[in-house]
């Protein structure tokens, strides 16, 4: 570094013809930089490596007609003595601290593949507790409620999401051999729609509402809030799963209905593909609503891998 400063001084002196005040000032600044970096080694990488610019643009003011701008929220630091991601929230008058938590694991799909059964089997473990959602399992937050599907005038926020995990047992402490307190209790949720339902992607602030396909989706939001969350994906024979979902959701009652609706769905997708890419068709809001078999990412692939006759014969 000192040799580099001497070289810079010579360059400046040669440039200006003599060692005038400009060259002397530049050389002095170089010495200060070397001195600072030498005394503070942790700053070395930050100084010589430019900081990464945040990849998401954040508006100065949150738009009222859009959901919470999650990607522009500051990331939380969770308590090190909790296995579950938790933090203390201070009251306005600072008279008490409230423990707040988010899920340790997330069963995110797919529908009709046994997610409810798995979730309740997991919660039989003494260190795993259920949440306060539907069936003690589902929050409907990431794909639905944060976009105001329950109440169009109210977008649910991360604070509302944390309310599902306000479980007293999470604060049950144990004493480690060194005398410190810790909690090994965890909680989670199972929301299968988070795998397949991205129909409200256009409400995410970072997406262009007039675009044909999204840039940011639910996985980006979850990764920002919970970078270390444990994800569990359950799969099932896709043909059986599609028919089970079709029957359960009331799209039809017979195999004949299923055969007709699958054929119609294939026609709709083919028509879309004459005008747009497959990705644009998958995220097309109008098409998602009109598919007779109900829309999901895995059902789209199945309708292209199998024809309607094959589907009917395998159900």
Do 115 and 192 contact (CB within 8 A), yes or no?
yes
Q: Among candidates 241, 252, 251, which has minimal Cα distance to 311?
A: 241
- 9-29 residue pLDDT tens: 454 454 445 555 544 544 454
- 192-244 residue pLDDT tens: 999 988 889 999 999 998 999 999 999 999 999 999 999 999 998 888 888 88
Those residues with Cβ within 8 angstroms of residue 209's Cβ, 6 or more apart along the chain or in another chain: 202, 203
Strand-pairing partners, residue 175, are 181
Confidence band, pLDDT 50/70/90 cuts, at residue 315: very low
Q: What is the pTM of this model?
A: 0.75
At residue 83, the pLDDT reads 96
Q: Among the ranges 35-49, 116-130, 171-185, which has the highest mean pLDDT value?
A: 116-130
At residue 63, the pLDDT reads 57
Per DSSP, the residues of 125-184 read STTEE--SSBTTTB--TTTTGGGTSS-TT----HHHHHHTT--GGGG--EE-TTS-EEB-
Measured distance CA(166)–CA(47) in Å, rounded: 42
Measured distance CA(283)–CA(297) in Å, rounded: 9
Measured distance CA(185)–CA(189) in Å, rounded: 14
Q: What mean pLDDT is predicted for residues 179-185?
A: 92
Written as six digits, the tokens of 97 are 């601290």
Phi and psi angles of residue 106, each rounded to the nearest 5 degrees, phi first = -145, 115
Do 112 and 236 contact (CB within 8 A), yes or no?
yes
Written as six digits, the tokens of 133 are 């959602």
3-state secondary structure of 42: helix
Q: What mean pLDDT is predicted for residues 177-192?
A: 94
At residue 152, the pLDDT reads 74
Confidence band, pLDDT 50/70/90 cuts, at residue 311: very low
Measured distance CA(161)–CA(254) in Å, rounded: 39
Those residues with Cβ within 8 angstroms of residue 43's Cβ, 6 or more apart along the chain or in another chain: 36, 37
Do 122 and 189 contact (CB within 8 A), yes or no?
no
């Amino acid at each position: 570094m000192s040799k580099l400063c001497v070289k810079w001084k010579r360059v400046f002196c040669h440039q200006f013809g003599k060692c005038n005040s400009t060259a002397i000032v530049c050389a002095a600044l170089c010495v200060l930089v070397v001195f600072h970096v030498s005394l503070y080694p942790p700053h070395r990488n930050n100084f010589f490596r430019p900081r990464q610019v945040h990849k998401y643009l954040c508006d100065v003011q949150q738009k009222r007609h859009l959901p919470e701008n999650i990607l522009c929220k500051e990331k939380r630091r969770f308590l090190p003595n909790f296995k579950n991601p938790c933090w203390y929230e201070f009251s306005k008058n600072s008279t008490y601290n409230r423990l707040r938590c988010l899920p340790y694991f997330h069963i995110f799909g797919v529908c009709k593949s046994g997610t409810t059964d798995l979730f309740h089997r997991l919660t039989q473990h003494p260190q795993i507790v259920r949440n306060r959602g539907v069936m003690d399992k589902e929050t409907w937050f990431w794909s639905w409620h944060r976009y105001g599907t329950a109440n169009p005038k109210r977008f649910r926020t991360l604070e509302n999401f944390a309310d599902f995990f306000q479980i007293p047992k999470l604060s049950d402490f144990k004493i480690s051999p060194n005398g410190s307190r810790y909690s090994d209790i965890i909680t989670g949720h199972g929301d299968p729609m988070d795998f397949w339902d991205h129909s409200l992607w256009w409400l995410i602030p970072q997406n262009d509402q007039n675009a044909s396909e999204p840039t940011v989706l639910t996985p980006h939001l979850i990764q920002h809030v919970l970078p270390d969350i444990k994800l569990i994906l359950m799969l099932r024979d896709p043909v059986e799963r599609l028919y089970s979902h079709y029957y359960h959701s009331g799209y039809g009652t017979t195999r004949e209905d299923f055969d007709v609706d699958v054929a119609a769905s294939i026609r709709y997708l083919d028509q879309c593909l004459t005008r747009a890419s497959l990705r644009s068709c998958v995220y097309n809001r109008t098409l998602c609503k009109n598919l007779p078999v109900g829309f999901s990412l895995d059902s789209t692939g199945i309708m292209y891998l199998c024809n309607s006759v094959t589907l009917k014969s395998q159900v």
